[in-house]
Structure 1
Amino acid sequence: MMKKVSRLKVSFGGMMYSHDFQLWYTYLKRRIEKGWRPEELSFLVGRPDHAYLDFEKMYQVRSFLTQESILLDRIYMSSYIEPMEFHRERYEVTEERLVRLHIEEDEVRWHYSIEIPWQFVSQKKSSIALQFEEWKAEKDIQLESDAMLHVRQKIEGLLDLEFFVHGAAPWQLFRKVKETGQVHLQIYPRHLKNVLYGLIQQNRLVVRNVEGRYSFYPVDRKMGHEKFN
């Protein structure tokens, strides 16, 4: 007897201009290609866990893009935008339209399906992938342990170099720790986050909100308080 696969289906909608949709789509595609989860992007931009997830759910897309697109391009080290050319009649004006996102989740993956209110200029363009599959990562305990050890050693080195003295942003730290030189060992933002918050629990780092973004500072071990120059 075949085991029945349980599925969870949710849908979201948001009003967007076509250019904003182009960027939203680009960032969704980038994230999935990296194998990162939305909360990992929230961490990298120094925001609460829900911030990037709200963006993917199409909540205040234009506002989020205005605040975060430059930093997101820096994180991905790319400013490439997925090419899209939509058909528009001469008399039409640019206006916000409703876009819908449907997510179907089961034990092994998320399936994304996007409904858009625009037509592509070329029929060839209509074949652009408006459906994605994101596979859930299989946790390898040894690889997770190796990744955490690598990040911890890198962060210890940065602490010794006083890299944190003036505050260190998550995206800056990730750039410092992500290269391992080992093909089989991949560092994800979650590894960095776990290490940093472990050091906070050990009273070696503190996290502060600086102009709406989280930044990490060292604790003076002798005095037991934050260390500033």
Structure 2
Amino acid sequence: MNTGSTTKTSYAGMMYSHDFQLWYTYFKRRIEKEWRPEELSFLLGKPDHAYLDFEKMFQVRKFLTQESILLDGIYASSRIETMEFHREEYEVSEERLVRLKIEEDEVKWSYSIEVPWTFETGKKKPPAPDLQFEEWKSEKDLQLESDAMLHIRQKLEALLEGEYFENGATALQMFRQVEPTGLVHLQIFPRHLKNVLYSFIQQNKLVVRNIENRYSFFLTDSQQASRK
């Protein structure tokens, strides 16, 4: 397959081995879910760049301290990828440089993770983690995209009629509401919800506010007034 031009980028960051385990766990989970980094930022109630910065290894420990519990909630799992690091008897735990290399072409992202550790493997030990990943760019089916947005719009319109937004609602709370469809062929992604929410903001139905450093969505003043 001719994938055209390729763009190569590389990012690096210092982290302890346990932090790498968590970083790797969330990286692998995201790819398995077929979500993009900005979709995780959205569900976390953060600007688009927030999760991408973490994946690029910027202030990993700080991000994990602040967001790991919520990330586990998003994925409904607190399981950490198993790996056993080899250490000599004289070695102590210390931050080391980890590098993420990315090659992007027209159809996919190819990831290569370079780590400074070796892994203990063999009988009764976990296998070494896979350090090569591919993330394929989705080919958008316009009909499915339209069906997904219609499904979300109908769900949110029903929530608007009630008291759901009186005290604000987070993106994650709403995603839990709209994700089930009962249809095998229709998968809801966070980006679908984000697109519909921002169309509601343009229509003056909702407003976004920063509450304790996370975005929440509220009824507009005009919407609230119309109910009185």
TM range (shorter): over 0.9
Distance 1:75 1:223, change over 3 A: closer
TM-score by length of 2: 0.94
The 8 Å contact of residues 105 and 111 in structure 1, kept in 2 or not, is answered as yes
Distance 2:121 2:160 in 1: 54
- Residue 157 of structure 1: CA displacement? 1.3
Distance 1:15 1:90 in 2: 22
The equivalent of 1:130 in structure 2 is 131
The equivalent of 1:198 in structure 2 is 199
- In structure 1, stretches of 5+ residues that fail to align are none
- In structure 2, stretches of 5+ residues that fail to align are none
Amino acid at match of 2:45: G
Q: Are positions 1:62 and 2:66 aligned together?
A: no
Distance 1:6 1:92, change over 3 A: same
The 8 Å contact of residues 119 and 126 in structure 1, kept in 2 or not, is answered as no
Amino acid at match of 1:157: A
Q: What pairs up with 1:87-126 in 2 under 5 angstroms?
A: 87-123=86-122, 125=126
Distance 1:114 1:205 in 2: 41
- Residue 126 of structure 1: CA displacement? 5.4
Distance 1:17 1:220, change over 3 A: same
Distance 1:28 1:90 in 2: 30
Q: What's the C-alpha RMSD, in Å, of the aligned pairs?
A: 1.7
Distance 1:159 1:45 in 2: 22
Aligned residue pair count? 225
Give the secondary-structure state (helix, strand or coil) at the position aligned to 1:208.
strand
Paired-residue identity, %? 71
The equivalent of 2:222 in structure 1 is 221
Amino acid at match of 1:183: V
The 8 Å contact of residues 114 and 130 in structure 1, kept in 2 or not, is answered as yes
Distance 1:154 1:127, change over 3 A: same
Give the secondary-structure state (helix, strand or coil) at the position aligned to 1:119.
coil
- Residue 222 of structure 1: CA displacement? 5.8
Task: Give deviations 1:57-108, integer Å, cap 9, x for gaps.
Answer: 0000000000000000001111111001101112211100000000000000
Task: Give deviations 1:8-36, integer Å, cap 9, x for gaps.
Answer: 00000000000000000000100000010
Q: What pairs up with 1:140-179 in 2 under 5 angstroms?
A: 140-179=141-180
The equivalent of 1:77 in structure 2 is 76
